[in-house]
Structure 1
Amino acid sequence: MFFYPSYLLCLCLGILCVVFVSYWNAVWRGGFAWDGSGKQFNWHPVLMVTGLVVLYGNAAVVYRVPLTWGQNKTPWKLLHAGILLLALILSIVGLCAVFGNHNAQHIPNVYSLHSWIGICTVALFASQWVGGFAAFLLPCSPVEFRKLIKPTHVWMGGIILVLSIISCISGINEKLFFALKGNGNGSQPYKDLPPEALFANFLGVLIVAFGLVVLYILSNQKWQRPEPTHDGEGYRPLQCDVES
């Protein structure tokens, strides 16, 4: 089955994304702190790539693993929601890191296209998680409501992943333009493609490759989790206790 090589590639690319973004900010950008300095800003790309892209993408494909088929769907719903919640928390902390740094350094907030897209992506992500929890995990959620919202939920999931990738690669590019000016700050200009620029560009390529693999897995009809033919277990949220 070709699913598992694709899934393994997805996992490997996700790990590489986290390693690359962490190494970039630890080695070339000076490391990490939470003191309002540039080191606090460095948490922003690490947390956004890890949460908004890698964890989000892996949460999206967890239903596709064939070993989960034919089993009770509730544990996998909880795993899906739990990974997404962790991704959302990391994303919010990542936003706090950049806002805290900008405020401490008296840098304007939310003026670039990157920041607009990023804020909208996190807002959509939060609303998607809340809506998904209400529809698919709240006890006694109506079956017809879940059937109605599911196509939109799936479509929005893919849209948020695409927006997350756009946000991250535009942010990487923006950071390189700001940091590599070659104007006496000890750095070569970005246009000369110094080692840091080359490394960060490869990070952007890895993020795009990860997203493409995730979207490929999600778009393959043969790898979709089979749904039951009746309105039973496959559509049932966490069960209400109806016994006395």
Structure 2
Amino acid sequence: MRPSVFFYVTYVLCLCLGLLCLLFVSCWRSHWRGGFSWDGTAQQFNWHPVLMVSGLLVLYGNAVVVYRVPFTWKQKKHTWKLVHAGLMLLALLLSVLGLCAVFDFHRGVHIPDLYSLHSWVGICTVVMFTFQLVLGLAGFLLPCSPLWFRSTLKPVHIWMGKAILILSLTSCISGINENLLLTLNGTNGEPYNSLPMEAKFANSLGILIVAFGLFVFGILSINKWQRPETDRENVHLLLTEDST
């Protein structure tokens, strides 16, 4: 099965949108919010949106579509399982580091943790992501994992993967809005409702994040772009199911 030109166009646009998300969030925090450091100040907080967008959204989104890339179809699926798991692990590490940045900043300036809807959704996303990763490693990479467990886990794994992406998009969008309301309606800068340049730029970042998520879901929704089921593991799985 050969993928259409439409797939390549969609995938390249998805990659470009992901890179633009990283560029925009980095420029926003460096140009308008004072850059980056790790000293408990607002410059440490700037790492939080950059790391969360990088890990929980862009890297995660690319990890969930890695099986759809055509040049992987003729290679061993186990190899790409390792790539998928490695990308997911790196995404989780970046997300945890992003949480450390904001929690440490809160302690330094005596701001309470987990008081907003954004923080509740964000922490639930990371917890669910951790649970998903542990289940995935146990179910699909451990040689001792029974085939019945893998077949039972697969639809749950797929559903959780999509749910985490939705939660990630929600967390990023709500975080942008919350940060603009807090910073631009405070003592620094123009009011948010006057739509200064920073607000326009951050709102554009939000649109790019939504567009990236839509492209990822678009790639996942087209069945003919799935990896062909030709691996030995899938054959053994079908034989096991037929014999039960």
TM above 0.5: yes
Deviation, structure 1 residue 139: 1.4
Deviation, structure 1 residue 31: 0.5
User: Which of 158, 161, 164 is 1:157 aligned to?
Assistant: 161
Deviation, structure 1 residue 111: 0.4
Deviation, structure 1 residue 235: 7.1
In 1, distance between residues paired with 2:188 and 2:135?
48
In 1, distance between residues paired with 2:200 and 2:152?
46
**TM-score w.r.t. length of structure 1:** 0.93
Residues 87-138 of structure 1, C-alpha deviations (whole Å, 9 max, x = no match): 0000000000000000000001000000000000000000000000000001
Residues 39-87 of structure 1, C-alpha deviations (whole Å, 9 max, x = no match): 0100000000000000000000000011111321011000000001000
In 1, distance between residues paired with 2:234 and 2:23?
37
What does 1:153-232 align with in structure 2 at a 5 Å threshold?
A: 153-181=157-185, 185-228=187-230, 232=232
Conserved 8 A contact 1:72-1:233: no
In 1, distance between residues paired with 2:108 and 2:172?
23
**TM-score w.r.t. length of structure 2:** 0.93
1:76 aligned residue: 80
2:131 aligned residue: 127
Aligned length: 233
Gaps of 5+ in 1: 237-244
1:239 aligned residue: none
Letter in 1 for 2:200: L
2:240 aligned residue: none
Conserved 8 A contact 1:21-1:203: yes
Residues 10-56 of structure 1, C-alpha deviations (whole Å, 9 max, x = no match): 10000000000000001100001111100010000000000000000
Gaps of 5+ in 2: 237-244
Moved over 6 A (4+): none
In 1, distance between residues paired with 2:85 and 2:56?
14
Letter in 2 for 1:106: H
